[in-house]
Structure 1
């Protein structure tokens, strides 16, 4: 589209009086559009590539939506409703599970419906009673991710709305089975976490899906939900609007992020805003040897890989203008010294040519320093589990210092430093050779050769924990992460093409664990 505009209308970039008319004409085409918000985002993307940034203004692009998407529906309703008071709970659950016309057979449908019914009944509060409006509402399309398809529902009873998410999996014969029923809002929120891969969903009206999801996860923003539905461009548009709105209603300044400063990335924050801003430095601190392009490729790898709940999502922007009077002097000097190639001072604004934005988390090292003994043990255990989960997705984190991990509001450990990330299958896991002499043992340099992709798991321990009690707690659950043979076995499993299960919900919730073979 951009190339066609530049070719057929070469004066479009400079004819600024034309764009307000184009915008009005474009709005007229959106009146009955089922994805008007996405169409506006597309328009913005095109205009911002055709005209100079000096003309990114309210008249030329959509700074706010022009068309309401409330109560918008397509040719068929976005969700179906089933009524247990009339048809019985078991029949409604059967209709819920079988209403998608899946071609494959179910492994044992009667068993699965019985388990679903039991799970719903056992989850009810002690004072639960059925109201006349008791119903199960089911979104019309499945949510696909990795090896699972998710049925997304809400249960309405009286004035209460509860989530119900049903993961469907396949056995080795490709028979379908219900793996669990997620009824706790926290469990559902984790399935839709920013640290997981996007879903694939066939939607006629995305805004209707977002409205539905908001009702079962009120803590999730539209930014999060559009991103998880695979509409990341729309998520970026909404985030940028939210940031501008926040800036107009706040007075604090952007400042250097607290904690240990990065060797590759320059990180800053706006304390009143729950996100961090990351820029690639012009030059990396030793011993880092990556290039700018390699770092960008690593971030791109993470963006489109299965993040298994352990790799933070990022929003990537170009040419972001920030008012100079909102930038702390120390940060401004740091930007001039460390990232001069990525900024441009234009009048009263600082234009950042390229930036990543991530949700702010508490760094693991700081969290452990302040946590109670019980929370500390849980975080150490989850730190090891986060590494296992990444390995299961064929991801080797590279720089596994605690400062490169964060703790989410759900107290899950997530990795967010990507400049050394690579595939497990590209690594060469080795055992450290025996020292040849006492001098070798006390030497500052290794007595053995190290190839470019060599990894020595036995050397991880001091990087993980210097405190003896912390290391002991880690080894209690994850001693095999320090054994090169474990890593070799995982690599061979991945090379063989066998997918390792990493469930986005506690294993104890699985029906096979909860009910056994019943």
Structure 2
């Protein structure tokens, strides 16, 4: 009887997963129609709703198990049998790694963390994905040496299955050939088996479709991406050619929204992508294609391995300490851990639940390459001996409600993990004139692009922004973040008396949502070098009229273009003219 019950429960959990992935693929499969019809609001809605699919399906499955079965304590042998029965069902799937994670989520929703070990859940995967093959191959090979580059480029664009025609296919092919010649010098020896391997399905995100491939020339593999955009009046057009792992990594950045790409075998797609971006692990790539729950599980496995093969201590993260979060890091691990403080000193007026809502807003919103994505975890066990005395003291004094000591472990009940960056304030402190100019250009561009996405950071202090390995400035402090359209951008009224302008206190009052952009210069630009560069590059950000114009655009339904590649990489910025050549040969 116990084995029969175990089999029924295992089948019920698997049915929950299969429903989840079916619905996930349905909404993902609609990306092409939304792109070709230029239905950008629907694309944004679909992206937000898809993120919530997983938790809803887990909740439905948990409710079904509670309703249909008499669930006993996991200490009972029943749950060991359920895992065995579930494991027997997985070889029939093309997504066994995702199904294992779904099982873990259901179990962890039902029971206490005491049972979160490999006897009850899949802490470590048991089904290999290396043997999996889709019924339809995930990529197509092309042979330019045999068929000629013009014909191959034409075939690649045709094979993507776009139903909307290109507005000028000859022009697009000419642009791509010019870029190929510039980025792949003629003196490079072409091997006899030279080929282009291109993923069969485009990757959709926001207003773009991205063709992903690699050039295979002997032992060399050179990644490339072809962005395709939609001129809503005249048809599709190729906007650029990107190549090299750094440029491709920017397109797949942790600060961007998840792609829509329909795949029956996600492991095969990730295996294709990994050599193209060697700095990105499986966790980041699964997350980038919208499978963030498995990405989260895979990241935790990587973290456990790193703990096993490292000995350094967790320490307080460098930089100015925040009023809302305690942030710590492991120097040998390129991520930071953020725990919400128990109480926030004035002038912070919010609750821990309010902070969680801000992070959820960022998760659901288009991050336009300027807000760091994070993995959210509950009841994570850390080895207590690896915490520095200063960090342990900080957590016990500031985050006592969020931690628990159990034997030789420190349990953090709720935390966020993000990619580690250099705080912008520290970066500027040691920067030379050239680096200051670059960082302030990036800082202002980040503010502009967040505004285009209807996001107002709230707190513009440099300590709330980070600089990535590639020199990109990204916002990562969300407790005062809000929608741009919620703000009231005001001009500073004229002082009733001239001497009032010299007073330390303002002569004007401010409501809860009032923002005075003219004040930014006073509070932010105290360094004369930084002030000069900011005023030159981004002076309009100090003008309330600029912000009100952004609000009007958003309310009118205008979705601004924010590209995941430099403007100089664009083929004439979408105009009819092609560049003679891109500005450099990049990594190629």
d(CA) in 2 for partners of 1:513, 1:200: 24
Question: Which has the bigger relative contact order, CA under 8 A and spacing at least 6?
Answer: 2
TM-score norm. by structure 1 comes to 0.97
- Cα deviation 1:94-148 (Å, max 9, x = unaligned): 1111112222121101110121122112211353122111111111111111100
d(CA) in 2 for partners of 1:17, 1:340: 35
* Partner SS for 1:66: coil
Which residue number in structure 1 is paired with residue 256 of structure 2?
196
* Partner SS for 1:462: helix
CA contact (8 A) 2:171 2:576 kept: no
Q: Are 2:404 and 1:339 aligned?
A: no
d(CA) in 1 for partners of 2:553, 2:218: 50
Unaligned runs of at least 5 residues, structure 2: 1-60, 579-588
Which residue number in structure 2 is paired with residue 420 of structure 1?
480
Which residue number in structure 1 is paired with residue 46 of structure 2?
none
Which residue number in structure 2 is paired with residue 51 of structure 1?
111
Which residue number in structure 2 is paired with residue 355 of structure 1?
415
Once the two structures are TM-superposed, the CA of residue 308 in structure 1 deviates from its matched residue by: 0.9
Once the two structures are TM-superposed, the CA of residue 440 in structure 1 deviates from its matched residue by: 2.8
Question: Where in structure 2 are the equivalents of 1:71-150 lying within 5 Å?
Answer: 71-150=131-210
The structure 2 residue matched to 1:322, chosen from 374, 377, 382, is 382
CA contact (8 A) 1:13 1:50 kept: no
More helix by share: 2
CA contact (8 A) 1:13 1:52 kept: no
d(CA) in 2 for partners of 1:62, 1:471: 54
d(CA) in 1 for partners of 2:296, 2:573: 40
What's the Cα RMSD here? 1.5
d(CA) in 2 for partners of 1:90, 1:126: 16
The structure 1 residue matched to 2:302, chosen from 242, 253, 275, is 242
The structure 1 residue matched to 2:224, chosen from 164, 172, 187, is 164
d(CA) in 2 for partners of 1:429, 1:13: 57
Question: Where in structure 2 are the equivalents of 1:29-44 lying within 5 Å?
Answer: 29-44=89-104
Q: Are 2:202 and 1:153 aligned?
A: no
Once the two structures are TM-superposed, the CA of residue 68 in structure 1 deviates from its matched residue by: 1.2
TM-score norm. by structure 2 comes to 0.86
Question: Where in structure 2 are the equivalents of 1:492-511 lying within 5 Å?
Answer: 492-511=552-571
Which residue number in structure 1 is paired with residue 318 of structure 2?
258
Once the two structures are TM-superposed, the CA of residue 502 in structure 1 deviates from its matched residue by: 1.0
CA 100–513 in structure 1, closer or farther in 2 if over 3 Å, else same: closer
Unaligned runs of at least 5 residues, structure 1: none
CA contact (8 A) 1:400 1:463 kept: no
d(CA) in 2 for partners of 1:514, 1:163: 23
Which residue number in structure 2 is paired with residue 462 of structure 1?
522
Which residue number in structure 1 is paired with residue 355 of structure 2?
295
Once the two structures are TM-superposed, the CA of residue 438 in structure 1 deviates from its matched residue by: 4.5
* Partner SS for 2:92: coil
d(CA) in 2 for partners of 1:10, 1:233: 28
Which residue number in structure 2 is paired with residue 217 of structure 1?
277
Q: Are 2:247 and 1:187 aligned?
A: yes
CA contact (8 A) 2:440 2:534 kept: yes
Q: Are 2:436 and 1:370 aligned?
A: no
d(CA) in 2 for partners of 1:512, 1:365: 36
Once the two structures are TM-superposed, the CA of residue 26 in structure 1 deviates from its matched residue by: 1.4
- Cα deviation 1:8-52 (Å, max 9, x = unaligned): 333333444222222122111111321111111111111111222
Q: Which moved more, 1:315-324 or 1:326-335?
A: 326-335
Once the two structures are TM-superposed, the CA of residue 347 in structure 1 deviates from its matched residue by: 2.2
* Partner SS for 2:466: strand
Q: Are 2:84 and 1:24 aligned?
A: yes
d(CA) in 2 for partners of 1:146, 1:408: 23
Once the two structures are TM-superposed, the CA of residue 465 in structure 1 deviates from its matched residue by: 2.2
- Cα deviation 1:354-394 (Å, max 9, x = unaligned): 10111110100111112232112111111111111111111
* Partner SS for 1:129: coil
d(CA) in 1 for partners of 2:287, 2:504: 47
Once the two structures are TM-superposed, the CA of residue 441 in structure 1 deviates from its matched residue by: 2.2
Q: Are 2:496 and 1:433 aligned?
A: no
- Cα deviation 1:66-105 (Å, max 9, x = unaligned): 1111142111001111111222111111111111222212
* Partner SS for 2:254: coil
d(CA) in 2 for partners of 1:438, 1:110: 65
Q: Are 2:490 and 1:408 aligned?
A: no
CA contact (8 A) 1:12 1:50 kept: no
CA contact (8 A) 1:104 1:174 kept: no
d(CA) in 2 for partners of 1:330, 1:91: 64
* Partner SS for 1:381: helix
